[in-house]
Amino acid sequence: MEARRRVVSIRFIVTVVAVGLVSAGAVGAGLVYERNVRRVLTPEIEFRLLLEARNLAVRSSDALLDKYPEMVLHPMIKELQAQRPELAYVEVVDVEGVIQGHSQARLLGQKRTSRGLAIRKSGDGELSAGEQRLDGNDLTAIRVPIRHPNGQALGAVHIGLHRSYIEGRIASTRRAQMVVLAGILLASVLVTSGLMRGLLGPVRELRRGLDRIGTGQLDQPVEVSGRTELGLLAESVNDMAAKLKTAQMDMVEKKRLDYEMGLASRIQTNLLPSGNLTLGAFVVGGFYQAAAEVGGDYFDVFELPEEKVSVAIADVAGKGLAGCMVTSMLAALLGALRPRYSSPSELLMNLEELLAKKLEPGVFITMFYGILDTHSNTLTFASAAHSPTLVYRARTRSVDRYGTDGIPLCAAPGGMLARTLRDNQMFLEAGDLLLQYTDGINETFAESSDEEFGFDRVTSILSRNAQRGLGATVESLIDAVGEWSGSRAVGDDRTLLCISHERDVAAAGEKVAATVSALFKLPSRETLIDMMRPDAHLRLPAQLNALQALRDWVAGCVPLDKLGSEDRARVELVLYELCANLIEHGYAAEADDEIDIWWLSHASENSTGDHRARASKSYFVIRDSGRPFENPVVLRSNRRPVQHTRGRGLGLALIHAASEPRYFPDTPAGNLTVLQFQFEPTHHEQRVPL
Amino acid sequence: MSQSFEIRDGEHCDGVATFHLNGRLEAQEATLLRERCFEVMDEGVSNVIIVLSDVSFVASSGIGCLLVLSEKTGAAGGRLLLASPSEAVACVIKLLNLGQLLEVVDSLDEARSRFMVGT
């Protein structure tokens, strides 16, 4: 759990600051006031003292002329001192300095002793001739001469005043001031604290409200009224909560929709064929890229009995979920109709009949459907207003274009389709490649203009790449379209359907099978059947960067799936090294040629008779049409220890370490290399990892 | 060249350079790797660890490169350690009996610890 954070209360801070400021102000004002009081009060008191002394001097002058001056002066001074306790002493002396008047009777008649006070030097305009001010540590005193009205000096009056009296007077002023200060302080604390409580009360309410929002309770508003900024803040918070609630609901809805779309997208992907279908010398496959999550394009490749393949490509007018739902319907109906029709046009008409009842008015479908007979190399097809079919002809090295008069499915009622649609037939010879596509390909806009990709570019790419086979053609076309549209969003689904009559796989395969069975004394028929299995063959362009395809083939090759991963790695490695050698030494860099690889599993099993611990032997036959090695020694084992090779010749060492290679240059089937592998039946379960 | 191939530099400290390889180690990638290693060795690093756990395929040229690097680090008074080889790499090393020429350890930590104690 999160530890509770220490909170410093704003109320506390403001109160302390207010009190501090008030105190500082009051103390400052007090100091100034006290200074002024001292400045005014001290001369005032001293002046009073002077008046008192003068008064006493006047009153004493007659007494001093008496015979017994102390009789008058003693009671007078005693009374004076009783009334004014702040006076330290009051003395009246005669001209000889003898004390004639004092509050204490025992001092009368004695010589006055000096108290050691200093005469104040600073000028004092108030003093008359003969008058003196004197200062001591704790006394301030005054001396006033007593004169007879005729000017004769009779004596002097000395009055001393306790300095503490002045301080006492100032202190009493200060005390009053302290009381006022304390009152102001108390009032400021109370007022500030009360004010802050009133102002900050809503903050607590705001905090509670924000806590509620934090935990997702967006319905309960923050109730802060008032016209301070906090009231406005509360309004903003409530406003925010309302917007959050809307956004949250939108998000939930969007997530739900995303989920649904994802689901739809998966369903649609599942409707499409995965991977290419190889049947005999034909490879059939396609490509699909949706514009939105799901789209209205569809293609299908399906193996029919009697070495036939049905192919279809369709574009529903309408994208997104609606289009996707129609394609789903189309897929289901096609699945049901495929086996029942040998005529593509009849199938399309039937499909329209079934769909027309279900579709919204205005929704129509363009569609191409064909049945490929791999035995007779013919394609029977019909096109309901779909894009022109392009066929690369190996013989003429040109592209033929097949248009159509058919109208789209569900575009017009009343048997209009039947009147425009008909079956066509074409031959696909070795090396020919048929391409069908939806308008998302040819109508793709350029990145920064409204120029379409166009049929001519499609045709030209087909013409340039068809010789490289189906995969390369599809890839080049998709790359080119992607490059054309650049960063522009994919506006329409992009879908391709491709049928390739691989140049001479069948023919080459037959020749190779005959040669291998003769060389290794294998039963020729079984060898041929083995090699003709679609999975057991791989054709690669004779280029080093094409060798990555070996991995997928070895991994996906059905006959190899019983091997452990280590054996598969071994097979891939040896095939890689061998092909790399053939490409580097046998082909010129710019050569546009191919290497064929076959896997012969059944033949190998015949070659061993020991049933108890049967280690199965397998063959890979590699055919290349490059320059044969002049010296077949090249494929002979390199006996030098590996550490002396300095990295060269390692490929050959690898081939020999993992297999038994044999090289047959210039056979009727081309240059053949046969790799013989020995696999332990269940070794991948027993073997301890390296 | 395979686009997926990647050489990631690990820490270069205590005179040990570490490289994490990812993808297919073929001729062109081997050249890249050799250049990168030579670069760090020119800076005075003689001990090199190459992590091979994410190498999906290694061709003879890749192995040749590892042998050259092993020799070169040895000549510079250091060592080359191959850490956690993937099955593909292990398979080749085993096929060519290179276990005695190339020093292979199970993990990067082990490789580091070997350099730490200097055994």
How many A/B residue pairs have CB atoms within 8 Å? 80
pLDDT confidence of residue A686: 40
Q: How far apart are CA A479 and CA A472, in angstroms?
A: 10
Query: Of B55, B57, B60, B58, which Cα lies nearest the Cα of B83?
Result: B55
pLDDT confidence of residue A504: 61
pLDDT confidence of residue B20: 92
Are the beta carbons of A647 and B91 separated by less than 8 Å? no
ipTM of the complex: 0.86
Using DSSP's 3-state secondary structure scheme, residue A369 falls into strand
The series of mean pLDDT values per 10 residues for chain A, 690 residues long, is 68 85 86 88 88 89 84 88 89 89 87 86 75 88 89 89 88 86 87 83 82 84 76 85 90 89 80 81 86 77 89 82 81 90 91 83 87 89 91 85 86 80 88 90 84 88 82 87 83 87 68 78 73 74 82 74 78 89 76 78 46 60 80 50 56 83 79 82 42
Q: Is B105 near chain A, with CB under 8 Å?
A: no
For CATH 3.30.450.20, list the domain ranges present in chain A: 10-170
> Which structural domain, as residue segments, surrounds residue B42?
6-110
Query: Of A308, A301, A381, which Cα lies nearest the Cα of A344?
Result: A381
Q: Is B91 near chain A, with CB under 8 Å?
A: yes
Between A570, A647, A689, which is nearest B67 by CB? Answer: A647
Distance from CA of A588 to the nearest CA of B (A): 18
In a domain, B30, yes or no: yes
Work out whether strand B103-105 and strand B80-83 pair parallel, antiparallel, or are unpaired. parallel
pLDDT confidence of residue B48: 92
Domain count within chain B? 1
CB < 8 Å from B in window 576-595 of A: 576-577, 580
The answer to whether A348 and A367 have CB atoms below 8 angstroms apart is: yes
Task: Output the CA torsion A14→A17→A18→A19 (10° steps).
Answer: 120
Q: Is A647 near chain B, with CB under 8 Å?
A: yes
Distance from CA of A577 to the nearest CA of B (A): 7
**Tokens (6 digits) for A379:** 């394609």
Chain B environment of A576 (Cβ under 8 Å): 57, 59
Between B24, B71, B95, which is nearest A654 by CB? Answer: B95
Distance from CA of B22 to the nearest CA of A (A): 15
Three-state secondary structure readout of chain B: CCCCCEEEEEEEECCEEEEEEEEEECHHHHHHHHHHHHHHHHCCCCEEEEEEEEEEEECHHHHHHHHHHHHHHHHCCCCEEEECCCHHHHHHHHHCCHHHCCEEECCHHHHHHHHHHCC
Between A545, A551, A658, which is nearest B95 by CB? Answer: A658
Are the beta carbons of B2 and A548 separated by less than 8 Å? yes
Determine whether A597 is exposed, middle or buried from the number of CB atoms within 10 Å of its CB (0-12, 13-18, 19+). buried
Q: Is B93 near chain A, with CB under 8 Å?
A: yes
Chain A environment of B61 (Cβ under 8 Å): 647, 650-651
pLDDT confidence of residue A318: 66
The answer to whether A571 and A599 have CB atoms below 8 angstroms apart is: no
Chain B environment of A565 (Cβ under 8 Å): 87
pLDDT confidence of residue A181: 84
Query: Of A670, A669, A650, A672, which Cα lies nearest the Cα of A661?
Result: A672
CATH superfamily of A10-170: PAS domain (3.30.450.20)
pLDDT confidence of residue A151: 83
pLDDT confidence of residue A123: 63
Distance from CA of A394 to the nearest CA of B (A): 30
For residue B28, what is the domain's CATH number? 3.30.750.24
Torsion A456-A458-A461-A465 (CA) sign: negative
Bridge partners of A146, per DSSP, are A155
Determine whether A629 is exposed, middle or buried from the number of CB atoms within 10 Å of its CB (0-12, 13-18, 19+). middle
In a domain, B116, yes or no: no
DSSP class per residue in A557-592: -GGGTTS-HHHHHHHHHHHHHHHHHHHHHHS-TT--
pLDDT tens digits, residue range B27-66? 888 999 999 999 888 888 889 999 999 998 898 889 889 9
Neighbours of A642 (CB within 10 A): 21
pLDDT confidence of residue A344: 93
Q: How far apart are CA B88 and CA A566, in angstroms?
A: 7
**Tokens (6 digits) for A643:** 């550490």
Q: How far apart are CA A69 and CA A62, in angstroms?
A: 8
pTM beyond 0.80: the answer is no
Chain A environment of B87 (Cβ under 8 Å): 565-566, 569, 689-690
Q: Output DSSP code: residue A363.
A: -
CATH for A505-686 is 3.30.565.10
CATH superfamily of A272-501: PPM-type phosphatase domain (3.60.40.10)
Q: Is B88 near chain A, with CB under 8 Å?
A: yes
pLDDT tens digits, residue range B68-79? 899 899 998 889
